Structure 1
Amino acid sequence: MSAGLTAGVVAAVVLTACGSGAEDDGTVSIVASTNVWGSIASAVAGPEVEVTSIISDPAADPHSFETSATDTAKISDADLVVFNGGHYDEFIEKAIAGRDKRTVEAFAERPDKNDDNEHVWYDVSTVAAVADRIASQLGEIDATNAAGYTERATTFKNQLIGVSTITGTIATQHPNAPVAQSEPLAHYLLLAATAQDKTPHEFQEAIEQETDPAPAAVAATRDLISGKQVKALIYNVQTQDKITQDLRATAQAAGIPVVEVTETLPEGVDYVQWQTANAKALAAALR
């Protein structure tokens, strides 16, 4: 075999390897870090685009999640990667490091760059910006269907207005309502409702970092609830431990409503349905 022919064969093999993946059949593929961002991507992308979420298991913690070889391959082959950012789902950042990948990072889309709470999927303004960004990226990948992506993003953003209407009503009817949180998961939901999170920062920070809060922080948080200084307890059911379970029991004993929140989508609902239910639950608790 001549050197020129050998080089041609090698080049063909390289091109084949680079082109492998979902895009081989013309299908555009998106990989999302969690099913939350997967649901949002699906709403914009439509049925023709293949959307895969790496995390959909409620027991999985995005902070400490480690990708498998299969996960890494999916991320590598995706035409677009949608992730949270803000050090929340660092497994994605590790997987795309050094790669030339199209990405949409939600944390970078938040309107208030001074707010460093990473749970931006509870902020409908950020989510609306992410929807636009996804539509824009898909339009560049698949120009033929760009108008469809833009139209679906607009439809999705119009649906988000329903969530904002509920939180706006809370803000009007129960302005500055005091609440407590087991950790700062629903931060942006509370901001939209103008609810005041009275939980000691030391308590929330420790729970989020999976360390034991100082006894003084635990006592102060418990006193907020047992003393009925708050109207509701916002409770993350996906990161429960003895301390937070005790906090919930204290709330129930004091007659303080408990609003359950999660980090991933419950089974059988999409993003808009989920956030609508969360906003309604908060409204009911403060009523």
Structure 2
Amino acid sequence: MRSSSKIRIAALATISVAAAMALTACGSEKTGDDGISVVASTNVWGNVAQAVAGDVLTVTSIIDEPSADPHSFEATPAQAAKITDASLVVYNGGGYDQFVTDILDAGKGDQKTVNAYDLLDGGIHAGETSGESHDGHTHGAVNEHVWFDIPTVDAVAHSVADQLSALDPDNASTYEANAQAYSQKLAGITAVTDSIAAAHGGESVAQTEPIAHYLLVAAELKDATPEEFTSAIEDGNDPSPAAIAATRQLLSDKAARALVYNTQTQDKVTQDMRSTAEKAGVPVVEVTETLPEGLDYIQWQTQTAESLANALSAQ
């Protein structure tokens, strides 16, 4: 569960950052052409940034394992030093990958950054503290899982292009062209969610966590899960018996047409919900928080959207 991990990260944050500063003082060097290095918090944002960087630069992702949980990730001193020394840092923000914010705040502060959460809805969330933004778990409100919001991903790609162009003017046209090409690929995902909205808009689904909030919004679907249930699961707590019973009833009565299931944070409660859904004949749509092995962002989100479409059409 996440709660124990959060305790560990709070206890080790100062040590990790201090060690990173020591490594930096010893002269860790930037990598990449012309001394430009790009670091991303997760392989999700690393993959987006790499699509823009193309063959010019190699992007390093701190979290690149499908089983890792960015909420509670503890950066090693070497990883913290990579973030501190990077020319450009691309991260989720909104309290999701807090380890990056902590390291940036403790560092020199002279590198360029792209904060995806700050670009949500045209950047209206820039300047919010992680505490303020991380509170946005209520249905219909903002939450930090912005890689499911295609306009935000598009904005990140273009922001990365702008930042790289400033760092490397000689290759600016390449970065800009790559970002434009990426926009066209992202449009394919939007086409799938638009088709879901046309065929199933207004229908109800359930989630074990509010991970795919923006996917459901784009598809015009209603998340009927009790907020008390999803918030408790996301925070690493046990939902109340009443919330568990209400969610189980939602699935057993087939009031939800699909269960969106986060495979990276399973426990007995979520596994019980999956079992309840399967017994009732409610399709399960698996989602993750980091890139599955062997897929890039476009493939991953296209498959996720198509899985949702297929689940809704199966009944």
Answer yes or no: same fold by TM over 0.5: yes
1:93-112 aligned at under 5 Å gives the runs: 93-98=101-106, 99-100=108-109, 101-111=111-121
1:134-149 aligned at under 5 Å gives the runs: 134-149=160-175
1:45-194 aligned at under 5 Å gives the runs: 45-98=53-106, 99-100=108-109, 101-111=111-121, 113=124, 115-194=141-220
Amino acid paired to 1:20: E
Report the equivalent of 1:257.
Answer: 283
Aligned-partner Cα distance in 2 for 1:181–1:39:
26
1:86·1:116 contact (CA, 8 Å) conserved in 2?
no
The CA deviation string for residues 7-33 of structure 1, in whole angstroms up to 9 with x for no partner, is: xxxxxxxxx97783215x625211000
Counterpart among 23, 32, 44 of residue 40 in structure 2: 32
2:66·2:293 contact (CA, 8 Å) conserved in 1?
no
TM superposition score normalised by structure 1: 0.91
Report the equivalent of 1:6.
Answer: none
Sequence identity of aligned pairs in percent? 52
Structure 1 gaps of 5+ residues are 1-15
1:103 alignment partner, SS class: strand
Aligned-partner Cα distance in 1 for 2:292–2:29:
33
The CA deviation string for residues 210-256 of structure 1, in whole angstroms up to 9 with x for no partner, is: 00001100000000000110100000000000000000000000000
Report the equivalent of 2:304.
Answer: 278
Amino acid paired to 1:172: A
Change (3 A) 1:19 1:68: closer
Instruction: Confirm whether residue 215 of structure 1 aligns to residue 225 of structure 2.
Output: no
Aligned-partner Cα distance in 2 for 1:253–1:123:
31
**Coordinate RMSD, CA, aligned:** 1.5
Counterpart among 226, 250, 265 of residue 224 in structure 1: 250
Report the equivalent of 2:29.
Answer: 20
Residue 50 of structure 1, CA deviation: 1.9
Instruction: Confirm whether residue 202 of structure 1 aligns to residue 210 of structure 2.
Output: no
1:30·1:51 contact (CA, 8 Å) conserved in 2?
yes
Amino acid paired to 2:68: A
Which is greater in Rg? 1
2:92·2:117 contact (CA, 8 Å) conserved in 1?
yes
The CA deviation string for residues 99-134 of structure 1, in whole angstroms up to 9 with x for no partner, is: 322100000000174742100000000000001100
TM superposition score normalised by structure 2: 0.83
Aligned-partner Cα distance in 1 for 2:306–2:254:
22
Report the equivalent of 1:238.
Answer: 264
Aligned-partner Cα distance in 2 for 1:225–1:154:
42
Q: How many residues align?
A: 271
